[in-house]
Each structure stands twice: as structure tokens, then as C-alpha cells.
Amino acid sequence: MQSLSWTERRAADVRRTWRTSRRLAGFLTLLAIAVIATGCHNGDYEQGEAKHSGNSDTVVHVVKPELRTIDCAIDLPCNVDAYEQTSIFAKVSGFIEHFYVDIGQEVKKGDLLVEISVPELVEDHKLKMAQVEYNESLADQARKLVKVAESNVKMAIAQVAEANANVAKYQAEVIRWESEVKRLTQMVQENVVDKQVLAETQKQLESSIAARGAAQAAVAAREADRATAEATLEKVKIDVKTQDAKVKVSMADERMAAAMLAYTKVTAPYDGIVTVRNANTGDYVQAVTGDKSTANPSAIFVVARIDKVRIFGDVPEKYAHFVQPGTKAVVRAEALSGLQIPATVTRTSWAIREKIHELKVEIDLSSKDYDGLRPGMYVNSKVLVQRSNVYALPQQTVTVSGNQTYCYLLRGAKAVKTPVQSGVSDGAWIEVSKMKIGDTWKRVAGDEDVIVADLSELTDGQSVKIAQGKAK
């Protein structure tokens, strides 16, 4: 046999492959035609069956709404958070002098966490304390001056009294000498007394009058001295009030300086545990204000309470008005070997969160009673809603289209698609409160005939036939 070259062998292989492909394509074409023909035949058969079944009424059962108690468990994925968690920042700027605690260490309220070195605050406090002492000494001196001024007022009053007494004394002498002059004048006229005696008596009268005038002038001077002493007393009393006010101001300054100095010693806000430490000895920390738990600056410490934890979950809007503080719940922690904890809802946000349309609920638990329950864990909670004495329908009697729940009422042997307002469901029964009859929402009365059937096969207004016996 003559051997073929590689090129001839390759060409022969290509021809065999082409012939095989053509045979396979022909087979597939015949198969497709057969399938299409079979499909068309089956379609005609099914259409005929549908037309045939449409000629007879659908057999259905009928039930009425029942008053029942429905227990519904709402599953919520939840997170465990600390009951309280505080980020500790510096109130004053300075260098960290010493740490007293580290992460994982339990602390009591008021325990010293860290000490910050701020020498200027120390000196400022000393200055304020010295200012208080200085102002207190000035106030003491002012009070002593009040006592001196009060003594001067008393002395001035006594001097006024003395001057008035002198005036009275000289007034008496004037009266005496006036009487004596009058008597001697009569006796001189009768030549009983020498004129010289009368002249001397008149001189005594004039001297007494002059002394009385001097005494009256002394009274005016003493009155002026008394007024001056009283004015001085009022002034020093005002000085005392002024100095006392300065003492209060300086004491307030001292307390402020002491408060700022106290911020150099950072303490624990409550009993808890240190979960974060972000600084080291010698680091410079700056003062910050406000809640910086989510800001760029890092907290020196983060302290969390360990006696309680909060379980956070979100209840769908549909069930929000059924959940309130006191609603029973069960918390399941898979990380703790599936531990199930009976609980109650502690609080809700009341308002529905707009973007997610859910109600935020919180459950408080004692972490001491359930060892291992820690912030950051994931748990599953069931909020248990119980609706007592409400009308309910079997779950298979309702269907949902879009955002609306419907059932089919039996009206004159026809199925009427009717919107209903539904509530909670336990899987077998669903609460129904109202039905839309025509254009009006009416409360469920319990006498409505509700169809039980395969709702996917029913249409609004379809004729139906009531089956004998109870629906399964």
C-alpha cells in the first residue's frame, strides 16, 4: 500500500469530520421538527381540556371567620451591645504621666484611669489660692476699719452731746447775769450799790454770752465731725462688701482652676470594664469637647458596663403596632450552645424608621445571669405577639397580590375577590379585621362566607359550586 503524506492524511480527516457534522445536523433538524409537532398537539389538547373544564363550575368549600387567639413569633436577627459604653477623652491638653488600668481590667466608678501632666494648671491653681488669701486679708482689714469707724462715730456723738451741754451751761450763766444786771441797775438808780459793781456784772454777762456763742460754735463743729465719722463708717462698710465680693470672685476662680486641675486625673464614669486603650505613657493628648465616640480623635479609653447588655432588633412595619414595652420575647444565642433566654421588650423607638420601614426594639438582659453574653455577639430573637379574641381565617383562604391581601367571598354562587386588612399569622390562621365591600371598608362580623379552594384557579366573578363536607 502506498503511504500518504501528512498533508494528504490531514485533508482526509477534515473531509470525514465534515461528513459526520452534516449527518448530525440532519438528525437534530428532524428531532426538532418532531418536538414542535408534539408540542403543538399537546397544546391543542390542553387548550381543549381548559375549554372543557371552563364549561363546569369550580367546586369549593366555604368557611366563616372565627374568633381565635393567635400566637405569632416574629424572628429578628439581633446584635448585642453594651448597656452603656463611654469613650474617655481628655478635658485638658497635656502629656500622659501614668496609666493605672489596661484592657480587660474591671474598674469601679471613680477609679483613677490615667493621670495627665499639666504643670501650668498646677501653678495657676496656686496663684488663685494665693489671690483668695490676699482678698480675705483685705476683707478682714476692712472689717477692722468698720469697728474703728463705729468707735469714731460714737466719739463724735459724745462730743456733740458735750458741746450741747456746754451751750446749756453758758446759757444758764447768761440768764443768771442778765438777772443780776437787771437787779443791780435798779439798786444803782436807788444809790444802794456802786456803779462799779454794776459794770463788773455787765462784764460777766458779756463774758457768759461770748462763752455761750463759743459753745454753740463747738456744737456745730462736733456735728460736722459726727457727720464725717458716719460717712467714713458707711464707706468702710461698703469697702467690706466690696472686699467680700472680691473674695467670692477669687474663690470662684480658685474652684475653676481646681476643677481644671482635677481633669488631669481621668476616672471611670461607672462600674465596668476597659475595652479599648489607645495611648501610652508620654503621649500628648489634646482637649476635646462633645461626644467624640465616632469622630476622628481616638479615645484614651473605652469603658463598657458589664452588668447589663442591650439586644437591638428591627420589627417589620407590619407588626410594629403589636410590639410595645412588656411584649414577651425569647433570645437565642447560638454561640452559647443555643442558649435560650426568656425576656421582654424593654423599650421601642415608637417611630418607624423611614428608610427601612422597621421599628427599633431593645431588650435589656443581665449579663451576670447569663455568663458569656457579651457586646458584639450575634443572637436571634423571637418577639411573641399574642392577639386574643380576634377574627381569623385559615391561611389558605387568603392570597397576596402586590401589597394587598385578598380573599374570595361567596356571593350568589360566584367568587368575589375582596380586599382584606390582615394582621398577625401563626402559619395556620391569619387575623382579619376589615373587608372592603364595594368602596367601603367594613369590620369583619363573622358571618361572611369565605371560599376555601385553590385560589390560583379562581378569578373574580367566577361561578363556583359548594362542595359537601368540610374543607381539608
Q: Is pLDDT of 150 > 80?
A: yes
- Mean pLDDT along residues 131-154: 92
> For residue 472, what pLDDT band results from cuts at 50, 70 and 90?
low
Q: According to the model, what pLDDT value does residue 289 have?
A: 60
- Mean pLDDT along residues 125-142: 94
DSSP β-bridge partners for residue 385 = 72
383 vs 73: CA distance, rounded Å: 6
Portion of the chain with pLDDT greater than 90, in percent:
50
> For residue 290, what pLDDT band results from cuts at 50, 70 and 90?
low
- State the DSSP code for 264: T
Range 134-142, long-range pairs (CB < 8 A, 24+ positions): 134/250, 135/243, 135/246, 135/247, 135/249, 135/250, 136/247, 138/243, 138/246, 139/240, 139/243, 139/244, 139/246, 139/247, 141/243, 142/236, 142/239, 142/240, 142/242, 142/243
Q: Choose the weakest-confidence range: 143-157, 212-226, 255-269, 350-364.
A: 212-226
Q: For the chain, what is the mean pLDDT?
A: 84
Q: 73 and 382 in contact (C-beta within 8 Å)?
A: yes
| CA distances from residue 161 to 169, 172, 215 in whole angstroms, order as listed | 12, 17, 11
Per-residue b/e over 305-339, b at no fewer than 16 CB within 10 Å? bbebbbbebbbeeebbebbeeebebebebeebeee
| Residue 266 in grid coordinates | 481621668
Q: According to the model, what pLDDT value does residue 360 have?
A: 94
**Of 300 and 41, the one with more pLDDT:** 300
Q: Is pLDDT of 39 > 70?
A: no
Q: Which of 153, 83, 14 is nearest to 364 (CA)?
A: 83
Q: Is pLDDT of 33 > 80?
A: no
9 vs 11: CA distance, rounded Å: 6
317 vs 329: CA distance, rounded Å: 18
**Of 433 and 371, the one with more pLDDT:** 433
- Mean pLDDT along residues 27-41: 43
261 vs 56: CA distance, rounded Å: 94
User: Is residue 359 packed enough to be buried (19+ CB in 10 Å), middle (13-18) or exposed (0-12)?
Assistant: buried
> For residue 38, what pLDDT band results from cuts at 50, 70 and 90?
very low
Rounded to the nearest 5°, which phi and psi values hold at 245?
A: -65, -40
**Of 27 and 114, the one with more pLDDT:** 114
| Residue 212 in grid coordinates | 455761750
pLDDT in tens, 353-409: 888 899 999 999 988 788 788 888 999 999 998 889 999 999 999 999 888 999 999
Going along 8-89, which residue ranges are E strands?
58-63, 66-82, 85-88
Please, how many CA atoms are within 13 Å of residue 365, restricted to the half-sphere of its CB? 29
Q: Which of 227, 235, 185, 233 is nearest to 205 (CA)?
A: 185
**Of 43 and 464, the one with more pLDDT:** 464
Handedness of CA 208, 214, 218, 224 (dihedral sign): positive
DSSP of 80-140, one letter per residue?
EEES-EEEE--SS-EEEEEE---TT-EE-TT-EEEEEE-HHHHHHHHHHHHHHHHHHHHHH
> For residue 226, what pLDDT band results from cuts at 50, 70 and 90?
confident
Radius of gyration of the chain (CA): 55
Q: Is pLDDT of 108 > 50?
A: yes
361 vs 344: CA distance, rounded Å: 10
- Mean pLDDT along residues 228-234: 89
- Please give the model's pTM, rounded to 2 decimal places: 0.59
In order of their start, the domains of the chain are 59-68+391-466 (2.40.420.20), 88-117+265-303 (2.40.50.100), 120-262 (1.10.287.620), 305-384 (2.40.30.170)
147 vs 157: CA distance, rounded Å: 15
- Mean pLDDT along residues 42-66: 59
Pairing outcome for strands 94-99 and 414-425: unpaired
Per-residue b/e over 68-98, b at no fewer than 16 CB within 10 Å? bebebbbebebebbbbebbbbbbebebebee
Q: According to the model, what pLDDT value does residue 341 have?
A: 92
In which element (H, E) is residue 303 found? strand 301-304
SS3 167: helix
Q: Is pLDDT of 35 > 50?
A: no
